[in-house]
């Protein structure tokens, strides 16, 4: 991806050198896909025994009570030696991509008679605090609608490469574009609308289905971003789209479930299958039209 010597966003809070409150005990919601990706290699062997299931139950109870049972793992993970030169380059890259999303979504909103309110991007290492509660490295990137910020530990990209073979700069850009897609949904009122719909649905399966629609639309919005990224900035190089598609496929619910437990439970999907994520990204990328991103919500 061509990105050097371009504008960087000023909407970046760099917390990489500050320590978040790892002892914070806020009540938490459903773990993000990033959390699941990080923990599955640990949880997988526990699923094979009754004692393992007991450990999982205790850990889950502690997690939803606000205590991080994997805190020692997080601290070890975040204390890994970091090459400052490489890390700073990563920061410049992701800041440049954020600037591109601001220009692209600003253009799209203006065409629809609206003004785009730019989100903030918080870069951190290890842990930090967010408007949605405590944030730690294993959670992966997420968007918090309360403070309208995207939270990103750059170590997540190392996890993509090492565990899921989904590396590359455009793959990283896709991840950010997906989270910015949630910000677009928040500005459009989609997230609040879906939250109300969830309250009217009985059963976790129905709520999960609604969440899948939210995530697939964010993938489609990431595709719209990719369309204009090349059209306006000529940023794409050979293999870039394949990197994004490979990443979308690698973090599909069915792929992750097969790796973790050997079988798939569609009713438990929260982000969509690999095929769905790839297809919706491609739909947005090929059309460049947000109207093509109607996932039924």
What tokens appear for 224 in the block? 């719209």
For 91-138, the pLDDT digits (tens) are: 999 999 999 999 999 999 999 999 999 999 999 988 899 999 888 767
pTM: 0.79
Asked whether the beta carbons of 148 and 117 are under 8 A apart, the reply is yes
C-alpha–C-alpha distance, residues 258 and 242, integer Å: 22
For 10-44, the pLDDT digits (tens) are: 999 999 887 543 333 334 445 555 445 445 555 56
Residue 55 confidence (pLDDT):
74
For residue 245, count CB atoms less than 10 angstroms from its CB and return exposed for 0-12, middle for 13-18, buried for 19 or more. buried
Low-confidence ranges of the chain (pLDDT < 70): 19-47, 50, 52, 56, 59-82, 137
Beta-strand runs (E) in 145-227: 149-153
Asked whether the beta carbons of 9 and 121 are under 8 A apart, the reply is yes
- Largest pairwise CA distance in the chain: 58
Each domain of the chain, given as residue ranges in start order, spans: 12-293
Residue 62 confidence (pLDDT):
62
Q: What is the 8-class DSSP label of residue 138?
A: G
């Amino acid at each position: 991806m061509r990105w050097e010597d371009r504008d960087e966003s000023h909407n970046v809070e760099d917390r990489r050198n500050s320590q978040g409150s790892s002892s914070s005990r806020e009540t938490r919601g459903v773990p993000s896909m990033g959390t699941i990706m990080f923990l599955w290699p640990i949880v997988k062997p526990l699923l094979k025994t009754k004692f393992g299931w007991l450990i999982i139950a205790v850990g889950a109870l502690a997690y939803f009570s606000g205590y991080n049972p994997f805190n020692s793992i997080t601290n070890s993970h975040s204390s890994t030696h970091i090459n400052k030169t490489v890390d700073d380059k990563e920061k410049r890259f992701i800041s440049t991509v954020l600037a591109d999303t601001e220009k692209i979504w600003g253009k799209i909103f203006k065409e629809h008679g609206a003004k785009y309110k730019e989100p903030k991007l918080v870069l951190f290492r290890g842990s930090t605090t967010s408007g949605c509660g405590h944030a730690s490295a294993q959670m992966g990137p997420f968007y918090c609608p309360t403070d309208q910020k995207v939270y990103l530990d750059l170590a997540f990209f190392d996890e993509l490469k090492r565990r899921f073979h989904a590396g590359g700069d455009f793959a990283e850009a896709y991840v950010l574009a997906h989270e910015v897609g949630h910000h677009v949904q928040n500005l459009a009122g989609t997230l609040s609308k879906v939250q109300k719909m969830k309250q009217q649905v009985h059963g976790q399966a129905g709520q999960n289905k609604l969440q899948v629609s939210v995530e697939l639309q964010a993938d489609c919005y990431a595709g719209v971003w990719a369309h204009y990224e090349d059209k306006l900035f000529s940023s794409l190089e050979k293999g870039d789209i394949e990197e994004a598609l490979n990443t979308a496929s690698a973090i599909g619910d069915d792929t992750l479930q097969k790796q973790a437990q050997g079988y798939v439970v569609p009713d438990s999907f929260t982000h969509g299958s690999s095929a769905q994520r790839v297809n919706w990204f491609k739909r947005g990328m090929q059309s460049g039209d947000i109207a093509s991103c109607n996932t039924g919500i």
